[in-house]
Chains A and B, each alone.
Chain A
Amino acid sequence: MDPTSMYQEIILDHYREKHNSGLREPFEAEVHHVNPTCGDEVSLRVTLEEPGEHVADISYEAQGCSISQASASIMSDLLIGQPVSTAVVRYAEFQQLMEGQGRIVPNEDTLEDAIAFAGVAQFPGRVKCAMLAWVAMRDALIRAGAWTNETTEDAAK
């Protein structure tokens, strides 16, 4: 399979100029995630807006391949300012897209720039790269107490 189909222009743009990169204050939770097979790393912070129902800010410091870096950039663009419940739904949507082996047509209205990762789903070795920042974001929201089992159940409705 031609890997250039994976490297959409949107991905390369975000890779060359990452949005929301650099750790910011204040924050409610900080997490550090790695992809042990290739060494990609991300430190990610989340801030919640009172009463804790909106993602006020996401910032990160990340090292790694274009897929992992662009994914962090696009995810943060997509979720900053959104309700936590939206983050939960987008996470599920993005994960489904990544696990779809290229058979899922993504919804541009909800995933916006993140639809560029549809091609990555055809390269199983790279799905972890695309998921890294998303998994870190979920973990940070859980640690901040904003993402609970209840939130997941509500979002599923």
Chain B
Amino acid sequence: MSNGVAGAAPGSAELRAGFPIFARTINDFPLAYLDSANTSQKPQVVIDALVEFVSNHNANVARAMHTLGVEASAAYEGARAKLARFVGAASAEEIVFTKNASEALNLAANTLGAALKPGDEIVISVMEHHSNIVPWQFVAERTGAKLRWFDITADGRLDLDKARSENLINERTKVVSLAWISNVLGTINPVAEVAAWAHEFGATVVVDGSQGVPHLPTSVSALGADLLAFTGHKMLGPTGIGVLWGRSALLETLPPFLGGGEMIEIVRMEGSTFAPPPPRFEAGTPPIAQAYGLGIAADYLTSIGMGTIAAHEQEITNYLLERLASTEGVVILGPGLGASDRGGAVSFTLDGVHPHDLMQLLDGRGVAVRGGHHCARPLHDRCGIQASTRASSYLYTTRAEVDQFADAVVYARNFFMPKYVTTGRDQPQDQAATLKEGN
């Protein structure tokens, strides 16, 4: 399958031409898609891969021995090998396919949880996505283990000093599970440092890489993680496919998660024995076409270069922060302009305008953002707010999209808060109106 845009520069017209969705207009405006932290758009090569697989190679994996079955298995296992290379895993057997990052984290919580007992401690942080909170709450309730968490500093970073002073990680700590990058604050957490601390006490380190793996070059050994969860749809892949990477030595010690076909060794009515990893954790027919599509997405990202993508996002994010910081009434959450420990998700509040209303008016001008608590309600509580608006970029994001967004924010603010029309020194040059006329 050809990769028509290999080597295209992030944000370039050539690269964007490979994403059919950017031909869309929304409410007569060009689409400015700033919701990639929610889900990414898909390049034609990934769309073609799904169609190609289902059209020509469709069969079940592992169980079907005919020609198509062999082809499907090769496609599925090939994807496993691609994902292993993408995150710097020691072998393909360290890659477990799941349906999404939430399932990967539930797998981690349930299998690690099997060894927990009252008095043990699990450590997470207040900036986690609900998918890295709720599974641990379940496990804590079931086992009697105690759930503790990192607080954040006023500027939205992990509060390591406070954690050290209260011995947050100690000899009772069995699991530390932490986001690599916050989906709200954009903060890049010092995962390696926390992992080293956790390992001093023999705790297992789980990293939620949902916002990290799609955006930064990934090396599981540099991260210091024992388990790393991420999802396909945020990295140009299809929905319905996620990954749990695990160190081989650890995966081998973990009990099964879901029971069913292909995860077994021998089944007898009196009891069963189980397959080695990764099949041990992949009960039932997996999302085969989706795994294949994710492998193609990983190839595509590699062809552009993850370092190149990260550099583009940092530039775009700085520009977005600059435009927002000069907009009266905006308060940015998380590390501000110029911070190097910051990813491409930028959340903010706007004086007098609820995020739900802001999202709606931006949508009216073709700008897709997310408004709400972004599945991180405890973090919003911690920040003393109910909700925020989030603009998030990716390799295809352009400065023009950021301009369309920032001008629409001013427009929405003036609509709800007329006092800014006279006081605001930041009125848009009506670029959005110009765009609407088709320029």
Contact = CB atoms under 8 A, between A and B. Distances in A.
Contact of A4 (B377, B387, B415): B415
B337 to A, nearest CB: 27
Contacts, number: 48
A48 to B, nearest CB: 31
A24 interface: no
A64 B364 contact: no
Contact of A12 (B360, B364, B373, B416): B416
B386 A39 contact: yes
B27 interface: yes
Contacts of B360: 3, 6, 123, 126
B193 interface: no
B371 interface: yes
Contacts of B386: 39, 41, 63-64
Interface residues of B, number: 18
Contacts of A39: 372-373, 377, 380, 386-387
A129 B387 CA distance: 14
B426 interface: no
Contacts of A2: 27, 364
B356 A129 contact: yes
Nearest to A38: B372
Interface residues of A, number: 21
A65 B416 contact: no
A47 B63 CA distance: 65
A65 B416 CA distance: 11
Contacts of A95: none
Interface string A1-40: 1111011000010000000000000000000000001111
A136 interface: no
Given A39-B373, A39-B386, A41-B386, A65 B27 contact: no
A7 B415 contact: yes
24 contacts: A1-B27, A2-B27, A3-B360, A3-B363, A4-B361, A4-B364, A4-B415, A6-B360, A7-B357, A7-B415, A37-B372, A38-B373, A39-B373, A39-B377, A39-B380, A41-B386, A64-B386, A65-B355, A65-B356, A65-B357, A66-B416, A67-B357, A123-B360, A129-B356
Q: Which 8 residue pairs of A and B lie closest in terms of their CB atoms, listed nearest first? A: A65-B356, A3-B364, A65-B354, A38-B372, A3-B360, A39-B373, A66-B357, A65-B357
Interface of A: 1-4, 6-7, 12, 37-41, 63-67, 69, 123, 126, 129
